[in-house]
Chains A and B, each alone.
Chain A
Amino acid sequence: GAGVSQSPSNKVTEKGKDVELRCDPISGHTALYWYRQSLGQGLEFLIYFQGNSAPDKSGLPSDRFSAERTGGSVSTLTIQRTQQEDSAVYLCASRHLGQDTDTQYFGPGTRLTVL
């Protein structure tokens, strides 16, 4: 595709349920990032994948959060036993390593609402 895509665009769930958020990066981009953005706030780093290296999970807020990236392309962020404080927009970005700049290309995000 032409850009980073994410699905679903909106997700409403009940407290305690599990959710899966999907990110499809730009073809050929080996670096993939997940961020969380609460209303009116900055981007909170969650996790970073780079090629076949072990992911940098240092930003995941708890063990309820996990992510995987299959085949070096699509990534899924899973939140188990969702809590109301998990409500936020979850943004995915991809980047082509080796370019002269640090340009990240962001997807439109998934707005998660936990009731």
Chain B
Amino acid sequence: GQSLEQPSEVTAVEGAIVQINCTYQTSGFYGLSWYQQHDGGAPTFLSYNALDGLEETGRFSSFLSRSDSYGYLLLQELQMKDSASYFCAVRDNGNRDDKIIFGKGTRLHILP
């Protein structure tokens, strides 16, 4: 079946670095995405990895290892506004389907 696993909660201190891991199991694989969702808001796209390696976008970086079916989101210089839920998502292109499946999300708590 299709599944994505990520920690339910992570706590870090303002100014620090935090890593949110995601492992996936799908019938097909095209790429791994990350989304941020603040309370009461809609998910917004953060980053995408189709190939192995690290993609950097400002304070946020995302990593993918296709052989390990694993990726992570790295947030640096944490700010209070980064308190949100973070979802990994996979486009599963197996069985003709092209749907995008989300993990259950990681709630990031930031302490001052």
Q: Which A residues form the contact surface with B (CB < 8 A)? A: 31, 33, 35, 40-43, 45, 48, 50, 56, 58-59, 91, 93, 95, 100-109
Q: Which one of B33, B42, B50, B99 contacts A103 once the chains associate, using CB atoms below 8 Å? A: B33
Residues A102 and B99 in contact in the complex (CB < 8 Å), given A41-B104, A42-B105, A109-B42: no
**Apart from the given pairs A45-B102, A56-B99, A108-B42, 12 other A-B contacts in the complex at a CB distance below 8 Å:** A42-B87, A42-B105, A50-B98, A58-B97, A91-B43, A93-B43, A100-B50, A101-B45, A102-B33, A103-B45, A106-B44, A108-B41
B41 to chain A, nearest CB (A): 8
Residues A104 and B97 in contact in the complex (CB < 8 Å), given A42-B104, A42-B105, A45-B102: no
Query: Would you call A102 and B102 a contact (CB within 8 A)?
Result: no
Q: How many residues of B contact A (CB 8 A)?
A: 24
**Alpha-carbon separation in the docked complex, A56 to B91 (Å):** 14
Query: Would you call A33 and B44 a contact (CB within 8 A)?
Result: no
Q: Which B residues form the contact surface with A (CB < 8 A)? A: 30-31, 33, 35, 41-45, 48, 50, 87, 89, 91, 97-105, 107
**Alpha-carbon separation in the docked complex, A67 to B84 (Å):** 30
Query: Would you call B42 and A33 a contact (CB within 8 A)?
Result: no
Q: Interface on chain B toward A: helix, strand, loop, or mixed SS?
A: strand
Residues A107 and B87 in contact in the complex (CB < 8 Å), given A42-B102, A102-B100: no
Query: Would you call A101 and B31 a contact (CB within 8 A)?
Result: yes
Q: Which one of A42, A58, A59, A102 contacts B30 once the chains associate, using CB atoms below 8 Å? A: A102
The chain A residue with its CB closest to the CB of B39 is A40
**Alpha-carbon separation in the docked complex, A94 to B99 (Å):** 11
